[in-house]
């Protein structure tokens, strides 16, 4: 009888310790439902993107789309066909793909772009679909200064500025993913460039929201009377 009670007590102690460990274990970072993987069947390539309006349109990079016509998008749980290229800009390497009909659309709460400039040396987050893990991931970043770049695949326009961001994180598939500052979208990942003097460092080049938002307004993807606010 005593042995039975001792066994039960030992089991309860293990259970309690397991519960304590589970309570102390950090939760996995939450990925916004608006995040998607953009698949380009014509080129057999993919990148990241995110839903930005109530019609299910997705902001990504032009080089992710390769300026093709038809796309498939995947959320963390589902896959959706019937997306086509709506507008693209080779100068900024931005593109928007939209569903042909709302019946074919993925309609989560959109992420919202904020017309804001994070201070230099401030910290932020990048989100994208990793070609290493085959899943959406987050990574910490630090905002650096403004730069003008002439890197492929961007055709530079004089006076147009990007933000440079440093990180120890470097995985393919993040092109087109959002750059967040204090939970708000302030840019879109464009290219990853290895540091020439630090092998452990990489640079994200981000198209700024101050460039993106007017472009989206001009092309009717976002409307000026829709209030901006924090991302979900």
pLDDT tens sequence across 10-68:
333 323 333 333 333 333 458 999 999 999 998 889 999 999 999 999 999 998 999 89
- Tell me the CATH number for domain 123-209: 2.40.10.10
Which pLDDT value is given to residue 22? 33
What pTM was computed for the model?
0.77
Q: What are the E-state strand segments in the chain?
A: 35-40, 45-51, 58-61, 70-74, 79-89, 94-99, 123-130, 135-147, 162-167, 178-181, 184-194, 202-208
pLDDT tens, N- to C-terminus, the chain (232 residues): 545 544 433 333 323 333 333 333 333 458 999 999 999 998 889 999 999 999 999 999 998 999 899 999 999 999 999 999 999 988 788 999 999 999 889 999 999 899 888 888 888 888 999 888 899 998 888 787 655 544 434 443 433 444 555 555 556 788 899 989 988 898 888 776 666 666 655 556 677 787 889 999 999 999 755 444 333 3
Residues 6 or more apart from 73 whose CB is under 8 A from it?
Answer: 36, 37, 38, 39, 49, 58, 79, 80, 83, 97, 106
All structural domains of the chain with their residue ranges: 35-110, 123-209
| Selection from 79, 40, 76 nearest residue 60 by Cα | 40
- Residue 9, classed as helix, strand or coil, is helix
Nearest CA-CA partner of 70 in 41, 101, 49, 106 = 41
pLDDT of residue 73: 96
Q: Residue 159's CB: how many other CB atoms inside 10 A?
A: 6
Tokens matching residue 62: 């032009």
pLDDT given at position 189? 85
- Common-topology check for domains 35-110 and 123-209: yes
d(CA 149, CA 98): 29
pLDDT at 20: 31
The Cα 49–Cα 176 span in angstroms is 5
Q: Which long-range contacts (CB under 8 A, 24 or more apart) does 5-10 make?
A: none
Q: Determine contact, residues 165/124, Cβ cutoff 8 Å.
A: yes
150/212 Cα distance (integer angstroms): 19
CATH of span 35-110: 2.40.10.10
């Amino acid at each position: 009888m005593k042995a039975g009670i001792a066994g039960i007590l030992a089991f309860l102690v293990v259970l309690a310790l397991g519960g304590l460990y589970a309570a102390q274990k950090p939760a996995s970072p939450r990925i916004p439902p608006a995040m998607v993987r953009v698949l380009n069947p014509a080129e057999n390539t993919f990148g990241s993107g995110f839903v930005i309006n109530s019609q299910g349109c997705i902001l990504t990079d032009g080089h992710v789309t390769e300026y093709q016509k038809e796309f498939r998008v995947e959320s963390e749980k589902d896959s959706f066909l019937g997306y086509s290229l709506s507008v693209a800009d080779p100068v900024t390497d931005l593109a928007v793909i939209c569903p042909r009909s709302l019946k074919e659309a993925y309609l989560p709460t959109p992420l919202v772009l904020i017309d804001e400039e994070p201070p230099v040396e401030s910290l932020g987050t990048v989100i994208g679909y990793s070609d290493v893990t085959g899943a959406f991931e987050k990574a910490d970043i630090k905002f650096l200064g403004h730069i003008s770049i002439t890197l492929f695949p961007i055709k530079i326009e004089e006076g147009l500025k990007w933000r440079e961001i440093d990180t120890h994180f470097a995985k393919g598939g993040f092109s087109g993913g959002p750059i967040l500052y204090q939970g708000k979208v302030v840019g879109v990942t464009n290219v990853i460039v290895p540091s020439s003097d630090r092998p452990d460092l990489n640079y994200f080049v981000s198209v700024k929201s101050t460039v993106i938002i007017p472009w989206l307004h001009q092309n009717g993807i976002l409307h000026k009377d829709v209030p901006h606010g924090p991302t979900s």
